Amino acid sequence: MLIRYAELLGGYEKANVIGDRGLERIVKRHVLDSLSCSIGDRLAGVRDIVDIGSGGGLPGIPLAILLPAVKVLLVESARRKVTFLHRALRELDLPNVRVWCGRAEDLGRSPEHREAFQVAVSRAVGRLDEVMEYSLPLVERGGLMVAMKREISTEEIQKGERAAARLGGGEPVFEEVRFLPEVGNAGHGVVTVSKVSATPREFPRAPGKARKKPLGG
């Protein structure tokens, strides 16, 4: 199923859901990279996952294939990418996955979804403090935010710490993901943030605010 998904990513022409076309490169740089979210026990026993800015379904679809008992919600605002996601779900027959077309900020203000997920994942969505404002309002207390980032500076971590303190999150922890030699250094690092208290009602702010005026300063 993972290979079939990689083929779908590489062969879709109606929208630029992914920059790469070669199957081996997609498997190494995108599919295996997405599965690194599950390294260790961070997703052990998880009930549900929300994938913020899912794009072509990364990392949500590989995780849904790996963890068929886990419910996954893919959040994507670009309609052309949403069309691809629906096609991929039909082709792969993934009953544990749903798609939500819209902004993460609007989802975070929905009573049905606010603080309703055990884990929020994202992959290369934006700066850490920005991603936190999209993610933490959706995570229940005791849950976890997992943000995949190719690189991160000390300054970005410090800004993330300030944002987390305002959003109900704990201290950000960065972990470098190391792949086997035959895969190469193709992946992201992973930043995890525990949800320690309720997110204040004023967050998330209106769409676009997190990017224009990030909470980390």
User: Does residue 217 sit within a domain?
Assistant: no
Please give the pLDDT value at position 186. Answer: 65
Q: Count Cα neighbours of 216 within 13 Å in the Cβ-side half-sphere.
A: 20
Query: Average pLDDT by consecutive 10-residue portion of the chain (217 residues)?
Result: 94 79 87 89 94 97 97 96 96 97 97 98 95 98 94 94 98 89 76 98 97 95
- Structural domain of residue 170, as residue ranges? 2-198
User: Does residue 36 sit within a domain?
Assistant: yes
Helix or strand holding residue 5 (H, E): helix 2-11
User: Does residue 56 sit within a domain?
Assistant: yes
Rounded Cα distance, 73 and 122, in Å: 12
Please give the pLDDT value at position 154. Answer: 94
User: Does residue 208 sit within a domain?
Assistant: no
User: Does residue 43 sit within a domain?
Assistant: yes
Model confidence, pTM: 0.95
User: Does residue 209 sit within a domain?
Assistant: no
Radius of gyration of the chain from its Cα atoms, rounded to whole angstroms: 16
Rounded Cα distance, 183 and 187, in Å: 9
Quote the number of domains for the chain.
1
Return the ∠ at Cα 112 (arms to 106 and 118), rounded to 5°: 95
User: Does residue 205 sit within a domain?
Assistant: no
- The enclosing domain of 14 has a CATH number of 3.40.50.150
User: Does residue 126 sit within a domain?
Assistant: yes
Dihedral angle computed from the Cα positions of residues 76, 125, 188 and 35, in that order, rounded to the nearest 10 degrees? -20
Q: Which two tokens stand for residue 204?
A: 């998330």
| Cα–Cα distances in angstroms (integers) from residue 11 to residues 21, 22, 55, 89, 94, in the given order | 7, 9, 15, 15, 19
Q: Please list, in sequence order, all residues whose beta carbon lies within 8 angstroms of the beta carbon of residue 27, skipping any fewer than 6 positions away.
A: 2, 3, 6
Please give the pLDDT value at position 187. Answer: 66
Strand positions, DSSP E, the chain: 48-52, 71-76, 97-101, 117-123, 139-149, 173-175, 189-194
Amino acid identity, residue 73? L
